[in-house]
Structure 1
């Protein structure tokens, strides 16, 4: 009986820890983690950006950005200038990240 109760406690704890509120990612966004760039290529689940301004100076020239929000990716077009809030950079060639929020910069 003790093994069964221990297993149930472990299972419930694992499930609770694994269930995070998706909105928490937006609450933890930092103004220091913003990329600026022009969309070079749009894909079904992301895009490639040519970094501009201070982003180009701090990182590489291009970056791949995955976008999980289907509505967000539908609004993005090649050639647009964007601000992208991101989680962390994966050091690959080109670097990669995941968009937490995307804003289209109006020219």
Structure 2
């Protein structure tokens, strides 16, 4: 019984990693425009841009791990309607790392 539950959890985690939309919450997709100490500005793309504005301020405690030009998926619980809209990342997944200029 324990083995079956473990396999089910592992299988659902693998599906979640392969399909970003499978995770709960609001999903935003876009390119990091600017990084600050407590978050970043995300230029929204695709369906995210159609549902919201062009840019959104994202609070993220580990903003030191990303850089401008990175393409990311961001999950959040809510979006505050301000100018620009603001949210806090619950989860972030790197889709494509910006290529280095070296």
* TM-score, reference length from structure 2: 0.69
Residue 42 (1) aligns with residue 30 (2): no
Q: Deviations over 1:69-99 (max 9, x none)?
A: xxx3221010010000012000000100000
- CA distance in 2: counterparts of 1:99 and 1:106, whole angstroms: 18
SS of structure 2 residue aligned to 1:63? strand
- CA distance in 1: counterparts of 2:36 and 2:65, whole angstroms: 12
Structure 2 unmatched runs, 5+: 1-22, 98-102
- CA distance in 1: counterparts of 2:28 and 2:91, whole angstroms: 11
Choose the corresponding residue for 2:82, options 92, 96, 105.
Answer: 92
- CA distance in 2: counterparts of 1:52 and 1:38, whole angstroms: 8
- CA distance in 1: counterparts of 2:26 and 2:32, whole angstroms: 18
RMSD: 1.4
* Shift, 1:106, TM fit: 2.4
Structure 1 unmatched runs, 5+: 1-28
- CA distance in 1: counterparts of 2:96 and 2:85, whole angstroms: 26
List structure 1 runs of 4+ shifted beyond 2 angstroms.
none
Which has the larger Rg? Answer: 1
1:12-51 equivalent positions in 2, closer than 5 A: 30=24, 33-51=26-44
* TM-score, reference length from structure 1: 0.66
